[in-house]
Amino acid sequence: MSATTAITNIASLVTNDPALGDGSPLGLIENATLIVEDGEVAWAGPAHRAPAADTAHDAGGRAALPGFVDSHSHLLFAGDRTAEFNARMSGRAYTAGGIRTTVRATREASDEALAATLAAHLREMLAQGTTTVETKSGYGLTVDDEARALRVAAAHTEEVTYLGAHIVAPEYAESDASAHDAGGADAYTALVAGEMLDACAPYARWVDVFCEEGAFGADQARAILTAGKAKGLIPRVHANQLSYGPGVQLAVELGAASADHCTHLTDADVDALAQGETVATLLPGCEFSTRAVYPDARRLLDAGATVALSTDCNPGSSFTSSVPFCIAIAVREMNMTPGEAVWSATAGGARALRRTDIGRLSPGARADLTLLDAPSHVHLAYRPGVPLVAQVWRRGVREV
Ligand SMILES: [Zn+2]
């Protein structure tokens, strides 16, 4: 038998297993002990009933919760968009190109530079309690640049998403004077669903499309996602962020794991999410950073949809790596309860990534957990902006 470690003196433990603890979705246990063996949770329950373990680690009366599962980020990028953000927040027009600025810088960056930026952001996320991160391509937009972004990503995380369909590549955009030969958005869609997919599929688990006016329409998105499925990738969709549109319905129709953003939803969209398997992933850092209206989390939750909460960390529209920050916004601005927001950032993220081994702290789960310098998970919203994450463990090993 391998050695067991008891994490003792946990003031309150979020297990996300309703069968444990107080019967709520959080499966909350007060005065808890967690026993870890071989990188997994072997036992979770009240301290007075804990079985013996080989070694003990005193949590010091802190709260413990599953490591955050950040199921939506864009970390394969280079360059800087400070000026764009500053102009937007100063009420000035900014015309220097948005995503295209990042595409240009990313294409020019070396593999080593991309990897270093990715690793730096993953460290930043880990220090804030995030133990699983999904990340996407989408700033290369050529066969070689997309494939190498995913190759770099796959060396750092198992949750890699092919987003060749982030925007129409500048060479194909009809508005671009230099796009004379390439043949427009349909030609780019064919590339994304064909040669680019072939080059990218070996490094990715997921395929994603930015389905939005000005990016990719329903037919283009369906073609790309269907081609991705045929290559064994599972769809997820950037849907209904900036306007009402077909993204959510398409996500549900194609059995996507997640429809992300969900800011502008009709009643039919909400019903489709509530009745289907597709998770609604909300990304309030984006609305915060663009002074936009937040998605209506309450409406989705009350309808019975599964809601995940993620950062959308990217250099343009949401340059935060902090899940605690997103939890605080979700509670203050989106009428989620602290418990719902914590669930969505842990178990909800796991659902959005179709994972059952993370996002919970019950027997058989990975021992990925965060200890807070606070007696309860509620403090993540109650004390916004305060660095409460005291320790982070992954697979039973303390890393922070
Ligand atoms: Zn995104």
What pLDDT digit, counting tens, does each position of 285-322 carry?
999 999 999 999 999 999 999 999 999 999 999 999 99
- Fold (topology level) of 68-352: TIM Barrel (3.20.20)
Ligand 1 centroid, distance to 136 Cα (angstroms): 8
Q: Is the pTM of this model over 0.75?
A: yes
What integer best gives the mean pLDDT of the chain? 96
Distance CA 70, CA 68 (A): 6
What residue ranges do the domains of the chain occupy?
4-66+360-398, 68-352
Ligand 1 centroid, distance to 317 Cα (angstroms): 9
Residues with CB under 5 A from ligand 1 (ion): 312
Split at pLDDT 50, 70, 90, the class of 182 is low
Split at pLDDT 50, 70, 90, the class of 92 is confident
CATH homologous superfamily of domain 4-66+360-398?
Urease, subunit C, domain 1 (2.30.40.10)
pLDDT at 15 over 80: yes
Distance CA 128, CA 377 (A): 14
Higher pLDDT, 21 or 250: 250
pLDDT at 178 over 70: no
Q: Is 166 annotated as a binding residue?
A: yes
Percent of the chain residues past pLDDT 90, beyond the cut:
94
Predicted local distance difference test score (pLDDT) of residue 177: 53
3-state helix, strand, coil in the chain (%, to 5): 35, 25, 40
Q: Give the sheet arrangement for strand 130-136, strand by strand.
A: 68-70, 130-136, 159-165, 206-211, 234-239, 258-261, 279-282, 307-309
Split at pLDDT 50, 70, 90, the class of 261 is very high
Q: Is 74 annotated as a binding residue?
A: yes
- Nearest CA-CA partner of 231 in 258, 196, 276: 196
Predicted local distance difference test score (pLDDT) of residue 183: 74
Region 67-72: mean pLDDT is 98
Predicted local distance difference test score (pLDDT) of residue 22: 87
Ligand 1 centroid, distance to 210 Cα (angstroms): 8
Ligand 1 centroid, distance to 242 Cα (angstroms): 12
Ligand 1 centroid, distance to 26 Cα (angstroms): 27
Distance CA 199, CA 357 (A): 29
Region 334-347: mean pLDDT is 98
